[in-house]
Amino acid sequence: MGRIEGLEVVRSRIHGYGMIARRRFAKGELVCYGDGVLWRDDEEFDDTYALILEDEHKQPLFWDLADQTRWLNHSCDPNSVVDAKFIPARETVEAAWTALRDIEIGEEVTYDYAFAASVAEPCYCGAAACRGVIVDPGEIDQLPDDLRRRLTIKRAG
């Protein structure tokens, strides 16, 4: 698997490893594609670095990121967004990250993981708009009490 052009894996100020820009990305520009391996709900696999999406029958699919994109950290105020779609005919997923704003050299590239409430985690992204929990804003009402106490926002919106 080739190294992703324009990005570099470093120790992150947010968490563990992260990916920083080695060149400038303009708002709307493709940052990278994410290569991975497809897993289904009933299989044994490690979902730590997997994008979660649905197949054409609304069944959950896991795209286990198998390249450097697995080190992209979450931010509640992200500078990129991932678009992941299942391609049934090829039993594969196409995942692409696009810049939400201009990304400067040295800036960490992040996106919003928007976890379901059932797999939400405390967030330490450091953004002024940090929700306190890595969770889909639409699932805040379903958070368990221990995570709900960490919330810095009341609900979606």
Residues at the site binding Zn ion, with contacts judged by CB under 5 A: 76, 123, 125, 130
Between 130 and 153, name the residue whose CB sits nearer to Zn ion: 130
Minimum distance from residue 55 beta carbon to Zn ion (Å): 29
β-bridge pairing 110-111 and 73-74? parallel
Beta carbon nearer to Zn ion, 76 or 103: 76
For the CB of residue 125, give the shortest distance to Zn ion in the complex, in Å: 3
Quick one: 61 or 134, whose CB is closer to Zn ion?
134
Could you tell me the smallest distance in angstroms from the CB atom of residue 52 to Zn ion? Answer: 19
Radius of gyration of the chain (CA): 16
Between 13 and 85, whose beta carbon lies closer to Zn ion?
13
Of the candidates 73, 66, 154, the residue with the CA atom closest to the CA atom of residue 112: 73
Tokens (6 digits) for 152: 């810095």
Shortest approach of Zn ion to residue 77 CB, angstroms? 8
Cross-strand partners of 25: 103
Task: State the Cα–Cα distance between residues 153 and 138, nearest whole angstrom.
Answer: 12
